[in-house]
Amino acid sequence: MCGRMNISDHEGIQWLLEQLGLTLPADKFTPKFNVSPTAALWGVGVVRQAISLEPMQWGYIPPWAKEGVFKKPLFNARSETIWEKPSFKNLIRRYRAIVPANGFYEWSRKGKEKDAHYISLENQPAMALASIVQTHADGYLQCCLITTEATNQMQQVHHRQPVIIPPDQVEEWLTNDNQDFLNDCMSSQVEQQFEIRKVSGYVNNSRHDGPECLD
């Protein structure tokens, strides 16, 4: 799964966006070291037939759901079942996005204890996290990150990880509706090399923010 992100380095985020011909001005960027579900963030999707940077909310409840069916918004979708689940299958076919992030957090468990780890890419300052997106009844966009089975390197921390789209494949991820291509994107994660380091329990509290989350 992926339940927290670090989106604090504007230069790294801008590097990724430049691969798509997009710009996020510094005055519109708020560093967030501990992004959790329901938070506001910037995502990239196809809006009015153009790839654009859009404000989004992380997590959604399907519009068809009866009140009380979902106690919490859906913030992760498993790639292995995304084509079958009613909450996801229509979105993966046509409404995909990426969330630019500098890295994400994951927790390893040993008995009752859990240790927080920060995961980033060794050779890139930011990563494009695959997601699906829906439009809320009030007109704003909501996204849900896609996860897959962890690579051998990530297995030391957790058995799941977010799907990361290489920068040179982001445009096609957003625009190519071919199911075989999309499945390949969601399963081809083995070439990535992560930097994984343990961080303090300060990040465990979703209300905590600031560079201390990375210490």
Kindly state the tokens that stand for 198.
Answer: 């343990």
| Helix and strand totals (H; E) in the chain | 4, 13
% of residues, the chain, pLDDT over 90 = 87
Res 48: pLDDT: 85
Q: Is residue 175 domain-resident?
A: yes
Beta strands in the chain (DSSP E): 4-7, 32-35, 40-47, 50-58, 76-78, 96-101, 103-110, 113-121, 127-135, 141-149, 160-162, 164-165, 194-198
pLDDT 10s digits, 152-164 = 999 999 999 999 9
The yes-or-no verdict on residue 7 having pLDDT over 80 is yes
Q: How many domains does the chain divide into?
A: 1
Q: Is residue 139 domain-resident?
A: yes
Res 71: pLDDT: 82
Question: Rounded CA gap, 153 and 157, in Å?
Answer: 8
Integer-rounded Cα radius of gyration of the chain: 16
DSSP 38: T
Mean pLDDT for the stretch of residues 126-133: 98
Q: Is residue 197 domain-resident?
A: no
pLDDT 10s digits, 18-58 = 999 999 999 999 999 999 999 999 999 998 889 999 999 99
pLDDT 10s digits, 52-106 = 999 999 999 998 888 777 889 999 999 999 999 999 999 999 999 999 999 999 9
Q: Is residue 130 domain-resident?
A: yes
Res 66: pLDDT: 83
- The amino acid present at 189, given as its one-letter code, is Q
Q: Is residue 158 domain-resident?
A: yes
Give residue 204's region: left, alpha or beta (phi > 0; psi -120 to 50): alpha
> Looking up tokens 């957003």, which residue turns up?
174
Question: Rounded CA gap, 121 and 135, in Å?
Answer: 30
pTM score > 0.75 for this model?
yes
The yes-or-no verdict on residue 191 having pLDDT over 80 is no
Res 113: pLDDT: 85
> Which CATH number goes with the domain that contains 159?
3.90.1680.10
- Containing domain of residue 11, as a range? 4-104+125-191
Which residues are CB-contacts of 180 (< 8 A; sequence separation ≥ 6)? none
pLDDT 10s digits, 194-210 = 999 999 999 999 999 99
